[in-house]
Amino acid sequence: MISQQGLLAQLPRLPQQDLERWIAFEWVRADGVPGRYIFQEIDVARVRLILELRDELEVNEAALPVVLLLLDQLYDLRRQMLVLQQGVGSGAGV
Amino acid sequence: MDDPYKILGVARSASADDVRRAYRKLAKTHHPDLNPGNAKAEDVFKAVSAANDLLSDPGKRARFDRGEIDAAGQPSAPQGSYHDHADGEAGQRYSRESEHFGGWSDEGFADMFGSVFRGARNRGAEARARGGDEHYSLETDFLSAVNGATRRLTLPDGRALNAKIPPGTLDGQVLRLRGQGGEGWNGGPAGDALIEIHVTPHAFFSRVGQDIRLDLPVTVAEAVLGGFVETPTPGGPVRVRVPPHSDTGSELRLRGRGVPKHGSQPAGDLLATLRVRLGPPDPALDAFMKSWTRETPFNPRSAMETLP
């Protein structure tokens, strides 16, 4: 886990107001209170991903909610699939 | 690594814009977070990123074109891949299941393994009985954060805690002391104490990732003739060889003398940048400089004269 200040220090190309906007839009779910947010590892990875999508892959912020919605559903399905695979795997072993 | 021009599919004469466009086009298709579980996409993306790192840096590109460096650069994998987290239990944090109107996981064959899913969903109810997390902040000096240390904390309610600061701790990192937060209710477990670490700057060390930087002052004689000098490192002083004809700005790299190995992170390096110091005025030096003429002419400002 890392604080807002620590995260911004790690990502000098990320302006603070962008990060705070992403949290306000719920693209990133941080714990804590505004100005004193705390980020889990997955939040940090997601911030990096959003930054990369926007700055490298040219997904502008107007399109980002659509991309994130689809990505989140993709990962929901993948997690369910992985659980099912485990379920099938352990079932077969009985 | 193969020819970076070939990987990006651009001509050797391609402009910086052409390179960026080619990179973006490939990255959009092969980004590993958009292709989770597809090892081939990840390999392609790594190759494409490495090629882009090389060709988007005019200095590195020129050196590659002149044959001074080969294509094997640091393959910069995307940092902290999102899919590694999102595929695991942590991914639940960004689940959209609750937004579905009766998504397939709520019915149908997912219920065959229903308990597995319900287990994940019931965690919310459990959390309600858990005590709150309490936030604290703890200031620590630079070397304790680098090398690790144990600090005794006294909480507002009088309890004392030992907070173990692990080696390699970064400014802003948060330590979690399980069960040391607010008391649980309804028989629930206590919350955690979250301790945010603030690292105070050091007088001459600074940290860049796993590496430690410092400016190492040397005398004129040490710079010209070379020799052994003692340099501080986070682990204690070390004797280092200054090669002859070192100049201000020359960098010495002491492998493994930076932030010590911690977790899966290997030890970093100490990067000492030499700074030639003249020292206090000295009549002998003045006399020597008056009597000295260079055998080879040197103008340290020649590079500036070609610029407008």
Distances (CA, A) of B241 to B222, B267, B274, B275, B282: 10, 21, 12, 15, 26
Kindly determine whether residue B173 and residue A6, on different chains, have CB atoms separated by under 8 Å.
Answer: yes
- Axis crossing angle, helix A41-55 with helix A16-24, rounded to the nearest 10: 110
- Give the length of chain A: 94
Give Cβ neighbours of residue B16 (< 8 Å, ≥ 6 apart). B56, B58
Of B136, B142, B139, B132, residue with least CA distance to B168: B142
In A, which residues are within 8 Å of B78 by CB distance? 48, 52
Confidence of residue B115 (pLDDT cuts 50, 70, 90): very low
- Higher local confidence (pLDDT), B160 or B277: B277
The C-alpha of A2 sits at a distance from chain B's nearest C-alpha, in angstroms, of: 4
Kindly determine whether residue A41 and residue B80, on different chains, have CB atoms separated by under 8 Å.
Answer: yes
B36-45 pLDDT, tens digit each: 888 888 889 9
> In chain B, whose CA is at the least distance from the CA of A40?
B90
pLDDT at B113 over 80: no
pLDDT mean over A33-47: 88
pTM of the model: 0.54
pLDDT mean over B128-155: 86
- Which residue in the set B24, B78, B95 is minimally distant from A58, CB to CB? B24
In B, which residues are within 8 Å of A71 by CB distance? 33-34, 86
Q: Count Cα atoms within 13 angstroms, Cβ side, for B271.
A: 12
Confidence of residue B282 (pLDDT cuts 50, 70, 90): very high
> In chain B, whose CA is at the least distance from the CA of A47?
B82
Cα–Cα dist B60/B228, whole Å: 32
Residue B188 · residue B130 · CB < 8 Å: yes
In A, which residues are within 8 Å of B49 by CB distance? none
> In chain A, whose CA is at the least distance from the CA of B49?
A56
pLDDT of residue B79: 55
- Which residue in the set B33, B110, B172 is minimally distant from A49, CB to CB? B33
A51-85 pLDDT, tens digit each: 999 998 999 999 999 999 999 999 999 988 888 88
- Which residue in the set A1, A74, A79 is minimally distant from B174, CB to CB? A1
pLDDT at B168 over 60: yes
Kindly determine whether residue A73 and residue B96, on different chains, have CB atoms separated by under 8 Å.
Answer: yes
- Which residue in the set A4, A46, A80 is minimally distant from B94, CB to CB? A46
pLDDT of residue B76: 44
Most trustworthy range by pLDDT among A66-75, A81-90, B107-116, B122-131: A66-75
Kindly determine whether residue A71 and residue B196, on different chains, have CB atoms separated by under 8 Å.
Answer: no
Confidence of residue B230 (pLDDT cuts 50, 70, 90): very high
- Residue B117 touches chain A, beta carbons under 8 Å: yes
Distances (CA, A) of B176 to B135, B221, B234: 10, 51, 26
CB pairs under 8 A between A and B: 114
Reported ipTM exceeds the 0.90 cut: no
pLDDT at B142 over 80: yes
Cα–Cα dist B258/B266, whole Å: 10
First-residue to last-residue Cα distance in chain B: 39
pLDDT of residue B108: 41
pLDDT of residue B277: 95
